[in-house]
C-alpha cells in the first residue's frame, strides 16, 4: 500500500514537472515564432487571377483602379501590386499612389525594378489606417524604360484593365485569442500523451483515439471548408446527394439551401478564417432551397460521401445553420476515420507503431477532417490492412465478426478510385499453414475473404453503367486545363519508348515532391508550405515505426516484403498512368496531377522493408517513440499556425 502511494505521488510530481516544462517551452515558441506574425499584416482580399495577363506601363500613362475596404475587426494597412521588367539592359522606376475618396494622398511609393525581373511584388504601406476606406490605386512608369509591365486580374472583357492586387489589413482582433486556444490544445495534446504513455500506460489505440481527436480539432479550426484539395466539389456533391435524399434536387442540377453557400477559397489564410468566423457567428439557417447550376460529379459514388450525406440530411431536418452543417458533416467524416483507425490499430498484430504513426501523419489528418472521399478511402484501407495483417500474422482465433468487418471494408475500398487500391485486399492470400493448419479450412477462408470484393469490383460498374476505365484506356480525351488531347493507352502502345521516358522524367523531377506531399509538407491546396526539416523528421519516423518492439517480435518473411513492395510500386505506377490519361496533354514533359496523398493507403507496404531481426525497441524506448510522434504532430500544428499568419 505504501509503495502504491509513493508511486502515485511520484507520477503526479512527474506529470506536474512535465506539464510546466511543456507550457514554458510552448510559451517561448509562441513569443518567438507565433506572436510576431500575429502582430503583422494579414491578407484581407485579392483579385481573381487564373490567367497570367500583363499590360505595358507606358511612360507617364497612369493605370488606376478603385477599391472599397470595410472591416469590423481590422484596418487597411497595405496594397501589393505586381510588376515586371523584361528589358535585359536597363532598370525601370515605377510609382504607386493611393488616394482616398476625396483624392487626398494616403500613400505614395517608388520602386526600382532590375532588368530581367519576371515578377516583383510592389508593396505600398499606408501610415494612417482605417476600418473603412474608399481608395483609388494609381500605378505609373516614371522611367524611360518601355518594357515595364504590371499584372492584371481576370476579366470576361479582354480589353478591360483591372490591376492585380492583394489587400492587406492589420491582424483581425480575434487572431490572438484564436492562436492562444490552439496553443493550449497543442499543450494538452503533448501533456495527455505523456500522461497516457508513462502514467496510465493505456493501449496505443486508445492513445491514438484521444490524441487524434484533439489534432483533428486543431486542423478543423485551421483549415476552413474548401481549402482541402477539391473539397469544394466534394461539399457540393455531399449537399447534392442529401437534396436528392430529401427529394429536393436531381443529378443534373445540385440544389442546396440558401444558407449553405460556402466560400470556396482554396488558400488557407487569416482571410478565410475571418470569413468563416463571421459566417458561423451569423449562423444563417434559411430553409429556402436554390439551384446551383452544378452537376453531380459522376466520378464519385454515394459511398464516398455517406457519413456527410447523413449528417447534412439530419442537420437540414433540424434547421441547423448552413455553414455549421458543413462543419458538422466534416466532423462526422473524421469520426468515421477515428473509429476505423482505432479498430485497425487495435486488431493489427504487428507494426502497431507504424499504423499509429501513419494515422497521425499531417496529410492524413488534413484529408480526413474534410468532406473529401479520402476519408472513406483511408478508413477502409486501414481496416483492410489491420484485419488483413491479423489474418496472416495473428495468433488468436479468427472470428466471424472479424471476417464481416474485413469484407465490408474491402468491398468499400474497391469502389473508390476505380479500385486502384485492390492490392491491399490481396493480403489474406498470404495466409499459410502456420496460421491455419487445415488446407481446406485455409482455402475456404481465402475464398470467403476474396470473392465479395471481386464481385463488387466488377459488378458495380455494370450495375451503375460506369465505364470510366474503358474510356480512359481506349478513347482520346481532351485535358480541360490545357485544351489539348491527353495521353491514352493506345498512344502509349504506339509510342513505347516515349511512354517509358515520360515516366522516368516524372520520377526524376518529382520524386522529392511526391515524398513530401505524401507526408504533408504541402497542405491546403498544396499552397501552404511547411518547414522541410519537420517533414524530414516525419520521413525518418515512419520508417523507424516499423521496427520491432518488446510486444511485437513477429517476423515478416522476405518473400512477403518483396510482394508488398511490388504491390506498392504497382499502385504508384497505376496512379501515374491514370493521371497521364486524365490530366496530362500529349507532348508534356512530365505527368501532371499526381499528388503524394494518392500513395498514403499503401505506404505501409513500403516501410515494412526496414523491419528486421536485430533492432527491437525496449519498452522504455518504445514509449519515448510514441511520445515523439505526438510531439512531432504538435510541432507541425504550430508550424501551420505560423504559416497561415503570413499568407
The string of DSSP codes covering 606-632 is HHGGG--SS-EE-HHHHHHHHHHHHHH
| pLDDT at res. 464 | 64
Pair type for strands 616-617 and 548-549:
parallel
Q: If residue 492 lies in a helix (H) or strand (E), which one and from where to where?
A: helix 489-494
Q: What are 362's three cell numbers?
A: 499531417
Q: Are 265 and 271 in contact (CB under 8 A)?
A: yes
| Per-state percent for the chain, helix, strand, coil, to nearest 5 | 55, 15, 30
Q: Is 82 left (phi over 0), alpha (psi -120 to 50) or beta?
A: beta
Across 353-495, the runs of DSSP E, i.e. the strands, are 478-479, 484-485
Residues 6 or more apart whose CB falls under 8 angstroms from that of 284 comprise: 258, 259, 321, 322, 323
Q: What are 298's three cell numbers?
A: 459522376
Q: Are 240 and 294 in contact (CB under 8 A)?
A: yes
| pLDDT at res. 472 | 47
The alpha-helical segments, DSSP class H, found in 283-373 are 306-317, 322-347, 352-359, 362-368
279 vs 11, 259, 524, CA distance in Å?
45, 10, 20
Query: 10-residue block means of pLDDT along the chain (647 residues)?
Result: 61 92 95 91 84 84 90 93 90 94 92 91 92 92 91 71 90 94 98 97 97 98 94 93 90 89 85 92 87 79 91 95 96 98 97 98 98 96 98 94 97 92 96 93 96 90 60 60 84 92 95 96 93 98 95 91 97 94 91 94 97 92 97 98 92
Closest CA to 275 of 373, 266, 475: 266
Residue recorded with cell 457567428: 281
Q: Structure pTM?
A: 0.92
| pLDDT at res. 331 | 97
Distance separating alpha carbons of residues 95 and 124, to the nearest angstrom: 10
Distance separating alpha carbons of residues 393 and 396, to the nearest angstrom: 10
Residues 6 or more apart whose CB falls under 8 angstroms from that of 234 comprise: 300, 304, 305, 370, 371, 372, 373
| pLDDT at res. 156 | 59
Residue ranges of domains in the chain, CATH in brackets: 42-170 (2.60.120)
Distance separating alpha carbons of residues 371 and 308, to the nearest angstrom: 7
Tell me the HSE value of 630 on the side-chain side, using a 13 A CA sphere: 29
Kindly report the number of other CB atoms within 10 A of residue 549's CB atom.
19
Distance separating alpha carbons of residues 323 and 224, to the nearest angstrom: 10
| pLDDT at res. 582 | 87
Amino acid at each position: 500500500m505504501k509503495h502504491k502511494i509513493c508511486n502515485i505521488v511520484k507520477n503526479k510530481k512527474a506529470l506536474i514537472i512535465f506539464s510546466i516544462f511543456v507550457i514554458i517551452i510552448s510559451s517561448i515558441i509562441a513569443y518567438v515564432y507565433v506572436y510576431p506574425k500575429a502582430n503583422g499584416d494579414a491578407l484581407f482580399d485579392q483579385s481573381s487571377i487564373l490567367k497570367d495577363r500583363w499590360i505595358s506601363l507606358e511612360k507617364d500613362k497612369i493605370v488606376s483602379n478603385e477599391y472599397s475596404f470595410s472591416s469590423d475587426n481590422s484596418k487597411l494597412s497595405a496594397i501589393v501590386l505586381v510588376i515586371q521588367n523584361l528589358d535585359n539592359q536597363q532598370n525601370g522606376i515605377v510609382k504607386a499612389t493611393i488616394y482616398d475618396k476625396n483624392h487626398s494622398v494616403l500613400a505614395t511609393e517608388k520602386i526600382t525594378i532590375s532588368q530581367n525581373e519576371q515578377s516583383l511584388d510592389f508593396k505600398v504601406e499606408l501610415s494612417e489606417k482605417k476600418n473603412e476606406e474608399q481608395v483609388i490605386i494609381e500605378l505609373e512608369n516614371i522611367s524611360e524604360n518601355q518594357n515595364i509591365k504590371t499584372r492584371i486580374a481576370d476579366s470576361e472583357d479582354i480589353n478591360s484593365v483591372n490591376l492585380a492586387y492583394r489587400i492587406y489589413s492589420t491582424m483581425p482582433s480575434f487572431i490572438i485569442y484564436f492562436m492562444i486556444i490552439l496553443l493550449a490544445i497543442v499543450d494538452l495534446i503533448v501533456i495527455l500523451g505523456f500522461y497516457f504513455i508513462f502514467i496510465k500506460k493505456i493501449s496505443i489505440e486508445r492513445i491514438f483515439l484521444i490524441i487524434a481527436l484533439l489534432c483533428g480539432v486543431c486542423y478543423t479550426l485551421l483549415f476552413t471548408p474548401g481549402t482541402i484539395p477539391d473539397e469544394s466539389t466534394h461539399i457540393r456533391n455531399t449537399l447534392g446527394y442529401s437534396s436528392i435524399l430529401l427529394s429536393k434536387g436531381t443529378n443534373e442540377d445540385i440544389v442546396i439551401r440558401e444558407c449553405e453557400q460556402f466560400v470556396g477559397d482554396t488558400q488557407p489564410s487569416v482571410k478565410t478564417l475571418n470569413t468563416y468566423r463571421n459566417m458561423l457567428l451569423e449562423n444563417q439557417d434559411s430553409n429556402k432551397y436554390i439551384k446551383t447550376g452544378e452537376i453531380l460529379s459522376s466520378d464519385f459514388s454515394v459511398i464516398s460521401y455517406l457519413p456527410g450525406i447523413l449528417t447534412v440530411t439530419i442537420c437540414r431536418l433540424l434547421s441547423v445553420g448552413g455553414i455549421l452543417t458543413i462543419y458538422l458533416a466534416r466532423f462526422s467524416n473524421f469520426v468515421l476515420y477515428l473509429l476505423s483507425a482505432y479498430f485497425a490499430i487495435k486488431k493489427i498484430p504487428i507494426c502497431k507503431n507504424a499504423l499509429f504513426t501513419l494515422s497521425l501523419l499531417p496529410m492524413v489528418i488534413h484529408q480526413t477532417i474534410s468532406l473529401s472521399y479520402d476519408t472513406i478511402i483511408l478508413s477502409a484501407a486501414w481496416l483492410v490492412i489491420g484485419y488483413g495483417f491479423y489474418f496472416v500474422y495473428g495468433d488468436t482465433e479468427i472470428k466471424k465478426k472479424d471476417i464481416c468487418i474485413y469484407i465490408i471494408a474491402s468491398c468499400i475500398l474497391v469502389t473508390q478510385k476505380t479500385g486502384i487500391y485492390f492490392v491491399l485486399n490481396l493480403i489474406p492470400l498470404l495466409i499459410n499453414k502456420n496460421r491455419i493448419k487445415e488446407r481446406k479450412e485455409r482455402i475456404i477462408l481465402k475464398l470467403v475473404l476474396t470473392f465479395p470484393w471481386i464481385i463488387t469490383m466488377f459488378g458495380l460498374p455494370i450495375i451503375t453503367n460506369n465505364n470510366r476505365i474503358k474510356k480512359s484506356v481506349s478513347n482520346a480525351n481532351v485535358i480541360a486545363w490545357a485544351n489539348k488531347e491527353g495521353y491514352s493507352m493506345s498512344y502509349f502502345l504506339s509510342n513505347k519508348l516515349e511512354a517509358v521516358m515520360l515516366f522516368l522524367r516524372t520520377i526524376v523531377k518529382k520524386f522529392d515532391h511526391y515524398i513530401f506531399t505524401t507526408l504533408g509538407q504541402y497542405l491546403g491546396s498544396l499552397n501552404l508550405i511547411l518547414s522541410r526539416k519537420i517533414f524530414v523528421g516525419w520521413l525518418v519516423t515512419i520508417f523507424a515505426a516499423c521496427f520491432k518492439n518488446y510486444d511485437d517480435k513477429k517476423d515478416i518473411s522476405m518473400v512477403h516484403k518483396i510482394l508488398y513492395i511490388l504491390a506498392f510500386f504497382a499502385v504508384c505506377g497505376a496512379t501515374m498512368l491514370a493521371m497521364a490519361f486524365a490530366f496530362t496533354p500529349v507532348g508534356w514533359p512530365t505527368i501532371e496531377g499526381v499528388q503524394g496523398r494518392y500513395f498514403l493507403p499503401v505506404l505501409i507496404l513500403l516501410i515494412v522493408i526496414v523491419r528486421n531481426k536485430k533492432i527491437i525497441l525496449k519498452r522504455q524506448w518504445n514509449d519515448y517513440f510514441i511520445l515523439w510522434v505526438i510531439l512531432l504532430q504538435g510541432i507541425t500544428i504550430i508550424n501551420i499556425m505560423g504559416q497561415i499568419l503570413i499568407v
